[in-house]
């Protein structure tokens, strides 16, 4: 969804475009970290402490140091260039919160699916979700220290992605790295939406 907002603070009738982007993926893959790293405003977070009661449903294998989890969403904003901002909505990772995804995905231009090669299967549900709803997405491999390195082509094959779906390597903690992922998504989603529009006209 594109939002238009007027900025009268400069005395000019400038209209800015804001696009809605989702950041999805498995539990503990770095969604909250990515939103926080790139956001130019203080990010909104809905995190709660992990409890012993959740040990039976939250698989912390590979992310044993994780102490909190998102229970609704993360929200941030980043200006890509003059007149273009992205509103970032981070989705909760656990399947018991997936009912929120339908609400969060309404009007989204596209999505970033974060992946961890140590737990690659955890991003399958997000990939399936966006493929079935024809929401353009890129897979961003969050390169954790100590994890085995895989190339973009290897990850694409392992996830059985549709041809042309971009796979990029990133560091969710690094603002510039996260910004490059978002730029890649906007470019890809723009091409996909333009192609669909031309098909519908034709």
- Please tell me the least confidently modeled range out of 31-35, 45-49, 99-103: 45-49
Residues 162-202 pLDDT 10s:
999 999 999 999 999 999 999 999 999 999 999 999 988 86
Over residues 134-142, the mean pLDDT reads 97
Amino acid 115: pLDDT = 96
Burial class of 49 by CB neighbour count within 10 A (0 to 12, 13 to 18, 19+): exposed
Token output for 137: 């997405």
| Sign of the CA dihedral with 160 first, then 133, 76, and 9 last | positive
- Alpha helices by DSSP H, listed for the chain, are 31-38, 101-105, 124-132, 152-159, 175-201
Quote the CA–CA distance of 23 and 52 in Å, as a whole number. Answer: 27
Quote the CA–CA distance of 48 and 53 in Å, as a whole number. Answer: 13
Amino acid 10: pLDDT = 47
- Please tell me the least confidently modeled range out of 49-63, 85-99, 114-128: 49-63
Token output for 164: 């042309």
């Amino acid at each position: 969804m594109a939002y238009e907002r007027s900025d009268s603070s400069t005395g000019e009738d400038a209209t800015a475009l804001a696009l809605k982007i989702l950041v999805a993926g498995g539990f503990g893959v770095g969604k909250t970290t990515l939103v926080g790293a790139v956001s130019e405003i203080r990010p909104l977070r809905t995190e709660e402490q992990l409890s012993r009661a959740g040990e039976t449903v939250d698989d912390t294998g590979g992310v044993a140091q994780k102490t909190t989890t998102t229970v609704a969403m993360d929200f941030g904003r980043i200006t890509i260039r003059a007149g273009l901002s992205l509103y970032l909505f981070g989705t909760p990772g656990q399947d018991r919160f997936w009912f929120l995804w339908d609400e969060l995905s309404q009007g989204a231009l596209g999505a970033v699916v974060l992946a961890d090669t140590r737990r690659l299967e955890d991003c399958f549900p997000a990939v399936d979700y966006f493929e079935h709803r024809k929401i353009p997405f890129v897979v961003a491999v969050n390169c954790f220290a100590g994890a085995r390195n895989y190339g973009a082509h290897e990850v694409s094959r392992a996830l059985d992605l549709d041809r042309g779906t971009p796979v990029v390597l990133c560091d969710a903690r690094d603002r510039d790295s996260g910004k490059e992922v978002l730029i890649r998504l906007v470019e890809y989603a723009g091409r996909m939406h333009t192609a669909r529009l031309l098909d519908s006209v034709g």
